[in-house]
Structure 1
Amino acid sequence: MQLATLSLLLFGICAAPQTGQQDALSTLAPLGEKPAATLITEDHDPRLVQVKFVHDSGVRLRQGRFVGTGDDLEAINGTLDGLGVTRKRLFQQSESWLENWRLQGEARSGIALHDLNLFFLVELPEDGLVGSVCDWLNTFDMVELSWPVGRVEDPNVIPVHLQSNFSTLLPSPDFQNLQGYREAAPLGVDGDWGNLFSGGRGIGTVIADVETGWTDDHEDIAHKALGNYVGLPMTYYPWDHGTAVFGELIGEDNGEGVLGLVYEADVLMSTHQGNSNNIPTAIAHAANAVGVGDAVVLEVQCYHGPPSPHPCEYDAGIFATVQTATANGTHVFAAAGNGDNDLDSGAYGGAFDRSVRDSGAVMVGASNGSSLDKAGFSNYGSRCDAHGWGYDVTTAGYGYLYSGGTVQTEYTDSFSGTSSATPIVTGAGLILNAVHREAFGSPMDPFVLRDLLTNTGTPQGAGGNIGPRPDVRLALERLQVPKVIIAGNLVPGGSGTATIYGPSGDTFHMMYSKTLAATPAYMPPYGYLYLSTPLDRHEIDVLPASGQFTYNFNIPNNGGLSGTTIGYVQGAVLFNTLPGTGTFTNYYPIEVQ
């Protein structure tokens, strides 16, 4: 059957995406209590103070001074002028853009969001004044909170490195057999299964990574990453950490190196330049560059007064920015950090208590490699939503597994920390979101996707709560995404069954082709047809009350077929009850044993 004919048979209209808009906004999330005295540690910048004025105060910065209607502004400006203090806006985005972003997020989500134009940086002329200036600013009623600036680093754990097993082989070997995190649960997240579904390779999804740096011309990520910087100027190149993160996500499908969980997704890079006070701006740049249903990844851990390191959203400005991003429909995946700290501890003042405040981000803990037990270093607590492998992750960069002689050809089998865990959870989540978009016509809301990951994952083992390990197959079942399954005695002379599953009463198509298409055909609103055309067989029927329909087939009695794939099956279902119009199913190879 030709594509044009198949398109006519499947033709329909996409359902409009739903939003979470409400009639009245929620209460603003608290940013933290003013302390009796600001604790200063060696992790704090000796000359930087942050300040956020109360909501609706309208304070702005003009010609280096705070302006507005507050009675305290004259006293604040006078004292700061006397100290020789420089005042700056925390964000580099324009006031109008930040305001529109906030209002759009409130309209979409019904969540009251902080005015990001009320956050400022105060640069002091000498060391030793940070604590006293914070305490002084916190005495004013129009100041919601003033606090010191902490530091940021990549959330990786440095393993004991063995000498590379390969050094000069060209082209790079295929390391996919070492990527256990791609495999079926409970070992992995079942990315291999998710990649078989329409959209499941991540096509049409944009991921913006916020961290220190990347080697964007590495051979396994350059096809997606090369030159795709947004926001602040890049200062860290080459840089292994971001390279390793991207290897897990978008490692190229070329039989060399590693295979990313969503290898057809597009990526962007937004650096914080090694400064934690740049993280809010970097997140805003990232969120501005992606669309609704796309993702921002926070590969950072921060250090402040409480037990450190911890998730960076402990910082008021970072929390408010992440909350605005998720309210606008952007999925945010954040590393929980590597301090073995209990995020439910009172030392954090409820910053990670969802009954107090909730940024909407997916907070990612780390397991002891392929084990489901908590890694000894991983932060933990009720705020952790899901976990990934925290040890022994094979990906691009570093060169501990394979060098190839250049930074563009290095690979590791020991990427670790919540650094390695976060892209695993991100990849699983974005597979689900992309399949949902193709199947039902719209991306998932960030809170809905987060709940799905948590409620369908493989439960963790021993240790404090790091959340379950995502299970893409089970999550797709929960979403009721139609599928096809091949089973039977698949040997020469044997027989098999091809079963399609979907809502009872819906019309379905079952298709067979001897080969896959070199380039899948996009046929909206149904998604991607992976089979080559013309099809070798095409059946149309209606799903019975059981919600499944089975076809029987025989395998020729030819010993030469052992170890070969004799064809592929893919279905399509036209919805009567589910959202959207219909969808292609996964494709499934008929592999003769």
Structure 2
Amino acid sequence: MMATNGNGNPTDPVANPPEGETQPGTGYRQRVIVKFKDHVQLPSENAARLVEAGEVGPWGGLTAQFQGITLEPLLSFKQTGQFAALTERARSLDPSFRPTNLNAYFAVNMPPGTNAEELAKALSSWESVVTAYVEPPPVEPPLVNAADDPRSGNQGYLDPAPDGINAEYAWDFPGGDGAGQALVDMEWGWTFNHEDLAAHGITLISGLNHSYYFHGSGVLGEIAAIDNTVGCVGITPNLASIRCVGQHQPDGSYSTAQPILDAIGVMSFGDVLLLEAQTNLFGYSLVPVEIEPAVFDVIRLATSLGIVVVEAAGNGGVDLDTVVNPGGQQIFNRASPDFLDSGAIMVGAASSTAPHARLGFSCHGSRIDCYGWGENVDTLSSDGTNTATNLYTTSFSGTSSASPIVTGAALAVQGLFQALPAGDRLDPAQMRALLSDPANGTPSQNPAADRVGVMPDLRAIIDGMMLNLPPDVYLRDFVGDSGDPHLGAISSSPDVILRQAAVADPQGAFGAGSGTENDMTLGYEAEAGQDNFVYVRVRNRGGSAAANVAATVYWAPPSTLLTPDLWTLLGSATLPNVPTGDLLTVSNAITWPSAAIPAPGHYCFVGILSTARDPGPAPADFFDWDNFTTFIRNNNNVTWRNFNVVNNVPPPRADPPGYMPLPFLAAGAPDKARRMRLEIVARLPAGAEAVLELSPEFAELVRARPHLMPYTPFRNAEGCRVVHIPINHCGRTKFPEVAFPAKARIPLRLLVKIPEELRQHEFELFARQLYQGDEVGRVTWRLVPYREPQ
């Protein structure tokens, strides 16, 4: 990394700027910065004379000791009264803003050979002075070493997380390419007419386009390289405005505070200001520029005005929590009572490969909000004479390369929010909170040790509830399901409807406003010998309409564990448009041909939704057990309807007589034997009976003691030996956790009898399987009064 020698002049043992590049410090005019107390009123003209006359301090004695010194305002606006106007606006926008008197900052100019440190010490002793310090000399920017866009494949920071910030994903949404947004970059120099920048028409607000042209070009290339057929493409290539401010001033001075102030004067609420700078002060090298009091105060003014400021953390490798100013205050330590918050987003640097580890040169600590790539960044470059317009690099590095990545994310987020119907922009506090939230970014390799925050993930922000821009189509697992992960029923979807005859107007019959939105009894039993028809009801809780939603349905025998090897494809339908607003939208009929229906009876259904911006899983995904258990609870594109409606009057030839048989399967996992538990929950009336019919082998496995029932057949209809276990008719019957063999198919029957005098009522019971205490499948039966088949 670059460092400075004992005279404050930069050296670079690792990499040098391009040949011919103007070296840092050329023409530099050293000054002492003094801030008087706020009550001290000094006009910009004749300030030195009034200092003495107004008893502000012994200026005469000072000039006698340090001959040739002069006093001038440090900060200025061309328009009279602009300080006051901006301060008043900042107070109205940010009630927490406590304005400092920027007119109280002055610069003491001195001839060569003056002892600047002694001069600052003498001024600090004045009663009227808050602080005096030697203005930091020029410190090079924080560099470590020097689609159809042919280089875009190398720009891994554009890629999905955890590698990059998911910029390509943001481009699919209005504003995600930076449209309508404005950027100001502060540093030393740029190649404005670079082939990948020229179309932006970049202008200079103030200061000089001085040197280190490759650096500014690299920064702007990361953020905004034009989406053309050459070179790179920026994170936000369609910015409305790019302007720059230079730290080198026409009068030979070098300043960080004044260019920030010049930028503030022409920026609007929500614009983004990038500070590509670092400094040496108070004995610390290559630390954030806001360590300088004047710089801190103008940054605080900027953020209070609603300007989003992104600040490089610096390449000194300093633990900022340990930094103290001359007053002994830990100004960068968020846990310290002396912490000073400028409101800027401070950015550290980490490795380009995931997991991203903090690079040793990066400053770090609790003050750092975000990180970006600090190495191997592919972007624009230039030469020392600022004449080459087609140069590129693969090795742009440091917090110099990290800060533009976070800046691009901020501009994309600002564009996304402004493109919403309300058209709002985020203020600096909202932007910093959003970008630094671990829920919206990629953590570093070791967050506790790295202490560089997170790298923003634009997809997490876009898909999260703050923006919720993509469609979010879902099928309910149960009535009342809102699409969130839940612990409720997982096999009681009201949104897969089986009918024995086609419905002329499915939307009118089953959709929003139909009155049947939550009806679980719309259709449940297949009729053999004819075509049957399945309808799927879809909701969209996302921020945009879903186009061409594929609804695919599979059928399976009733089972407490519906692994995909039990599924048989029934068919699919496409919903051309599912609007936002969580409105129930119904598919056209999926025909279940008569030849494909195995037999009359009840079946389980699995429904999967998929659309371009909200893709659903494929059946193969469920063969992985971890995926299976995750999809059950957390993927709202998938649902199970394992909910059967059964007449509570036993069929004439019931076996055994008087009992309703409810057959189902208990199943093993598809990959290997896993310990699971069977549980049956019944909510039947007094006088009801419930019995579980199972094989002797399974009864022995679950350590259940069979009972000899009056009707007990020793073999079932298939000729297999069976035994019977009484079930709690109004409560829970738990069986021990045992190892279910892989791919096991264990036939079971519940035998239920409802007293005749209560058969005009409805009752419910279910059987379920649990894995590690979580439900992984269930079959539910609702026993209803006799009704004609639908």
Deviation at 1:411, TM superposition (A): 0.9
CA distance in 2, matches of 1:542, 1:255: 37
CA distance in 2, matches of 1:373, 1:99: 45
Amino acid in the other structure paired with 2:142 = P
Q: Rg: which structure is higher?
A: 2
CA distance in 2, matches of 1:464, 1:542: 41
Assess if the C-alpha contact under 8 Å between 2:541 and 2:582 holds in 1. Answer: no
1:506-534 deviation per Cα after TM superposition (whole angstroms, max 9, x unaligned): xx75568xxxxxxxxxxxxxxxxxxxxxx
Deviation at 1:98, TM superposition (A): 2.0
Deviation at 1:69, TM superposition (A): 10
Question: Among residues 469, 473, 479, which one is paired with 1:482 in the alignment?
Answer: 469
Deviation at 1:97, TM superposition (A): 1.4
Assess if the C-alpha contact under 8 Å between 2:261 and 2:298 holds in 1. Answer: yes
Structure 1 partner of 2:505:
none
Structure 2 partner of 1:253:
227
CA distance in 2, matches of 1:250, 1:47: 35
Question: Among residues 430, 440, 443, which one is paired with 1:459 in the alignment?
Answer: 443
How many residue pairs align between the two structures? 463
CA distance in 2, matches of 1:60, 1:86: 15
Structure 1 partner of 2:33:
50
Assess if the C-alpha contact under 8 Å between 2:288 and 2:311 holds in 1. Answer: yes
Deviation at 1:317, TM superposition (A): 0.8
More helix by share: 1
Deviation at 1:286, TM superposition (A): 1.7
Structure 1 partner of 2:785:
none
Question: Among residues 267, 274, 279, which one is paired with 2:242 in the alignment?
Answer: 267
1:303-334 deviation per Cα after TM superposition (whole angstroms, max 9, x unaligned): 12322110011001111111100000000001
Deviation at 1:351, TM superposition (A): 2.6
Amino acid in the other structure paired with 2:419 = E
Assess if the C-alpha contact under 8 Å between 1:366 and 1:388 holds in 2. Answer: yes
Question: Among residues 161, 166, 188, which one is paired with 1:212 in the alignment?
Answer: 188
Assess if the C-alpha contact under 8 Å between 2:541 and 2:580 holds in 1. Answer: no
1:7-59 deviation per Cα after TM superposition (whole angstroms, max 9, x unaligned): xxxxxxxxxxxxxxxxxxxxxxxxxxxxxxxxx97339884100011123222
Structure 1 partner of 2:294:
317
1:228-278 deviation per Cα after TM superposition (whole angstroms, max 9, x unaligned): 111124333x71000001111111111321111111112101111288842
Superposition pairs of residues 214-253 of structure 1, within 5 angstroms: 214-226=190-202, 228-236=203-211, 239-253=213-227
Unmatched segments (≥5 aa) in structure 2: 10-27, 475-536, 549-574, 591-610, 615-790
CA distance in 2, matches of 1:552, 1:460: 48
- Percent identical pairs in the alignment equals 28
Indicate yes or no: 2:343 matched with 1:360: yes
RMSD, matched Cα: 3.4
Question: Among residues 112, 129, 151, which one is paired with 1:175 in the alignment?
Answer: 151
TM-score with structure 1 setting the length = 0.71
Assess if the C-alpha contact under 8 Å between 1:58 and 1:68 holds in 2. Answer: no
Question: Among residues 55, 60, 63, which one is paired with 1:80 in the alignment?
Answer: 63
Deviation at 1:469, TM superposition (A): 0.8
CA distance in 2, matches of 1:56, 1:307: 31
1:203-249 deviation per Cα after TM superposition (whole angstroms, max 9, x unaligned): 111100000000110000111144x111124333x710000011111
Question: Among residues 33, 45, 50, which one is paired with 1:67 in the alignment?
Answer: 50
TM-score with structure 2 setting the length = 0.54
Q: 1:449 to 1:78 in 2, by over 3 A?
A: same
Assess if the C-alpha contact under 8 Å between 1:511 and 1:569 holds in 2. Answer: no
User: 1:156 aligns to what SS in structure 2?
Assistant: coil
CA distance in 1, matches of 2:294, 2:47: 20
Indicate yes or no: 2:424 matched with 1:449: no
Superposition pairs of residues 75-224 of structure 1, within 5 angstroms: 75-76=58-59, 79-80=62-63, 83-94=67-78, 96-110=81-95, 111-151=97-137, 152-158=139-145, 174-224=150-200
Question: Among residues 532, 537, 542, which one is paired with 1:502 in the alignment?
Answer: 542
Structure 2 partner of 1:377:
361
CA distance in 2, matches of 1:175, 1:478: 34
Structure 2 partner of 1:585:
none
CA distance in 1, matches of 2:169, 2:204: 31
User: 2:192 aligns to what SS in structure 1?
Assistant: coil
Amino acid in the other structure paired with 1:436 = F
Assess if the C-alpha contact under 8 Å between 2:48 and 2:59 holds in 1. Answer: no
Amino acid in the other structure paired with 2:441 = G
Indicate yes or no: 2:285 matched with 1:308: yes
Question: Among residues 296, 311, 319, which one is paired with 2:273 in the alignment?
Answer: 296
Larger relative CO (CA 8 A, sep 6+): 1 or 2? 1
Deviation at 1:125, TM superposition (A): 2.5
Indicate yes or no: 2:358 matched with 1:408: no
Structure 2 partner of 1:544:
582
Structure 2 partner of 1:388:
372
Assess if the C-alpha contact under 8 Å between 2:441 and 2:454 holds in 1. Answer: yes
Assess if the C-alpha contact under 8 Å between 1:398 and 1:412 holds in 2. Answer: no
Assess if the C-alpha contact under 8 Å between 1:46 and 1:130 holds in 2. Answer: no
CA distance in 1, matches of 2:35, 2:218: 36
Assess if the C-alpha contact under 8 Å between 2:333 and 2:365 holds in 1. Answer: no
Deviation at 1:63, TM superposition (A): 2.9
Deviation at 1:486, TM superposition (A): 9.6
Deviation at 1:79, TM superposition (A): 2.9
1:109-151 deviation per Cα after TM superposition (whole angstroms, max 9, x unaligned): 1210211111111012242421222111111221111011112
CA distance in 2, matches of 1:382, 1:420: 21
Indicate yes or no: 2:331 matched with 1:351: yes
Q: 1:53 to 1:365 in 2, by over 3 A?
A: same
Give the stretch that moved more between structures: 93-102 or 240-249. 93-102
Indicate yes or no: 2:314 matched with 1:327: no
Question: Among residues 433, 437, 440, which one is paired with 2:414 in the alignment?
Answer: 433
Deviation at 1:398, TM superposition (A): 4.7
Q: 1:553 to 1:175 in 2, by over 3 A?
A: farther
Give the stretch that moved more between structures: 359-368 or 85-94. 85-94
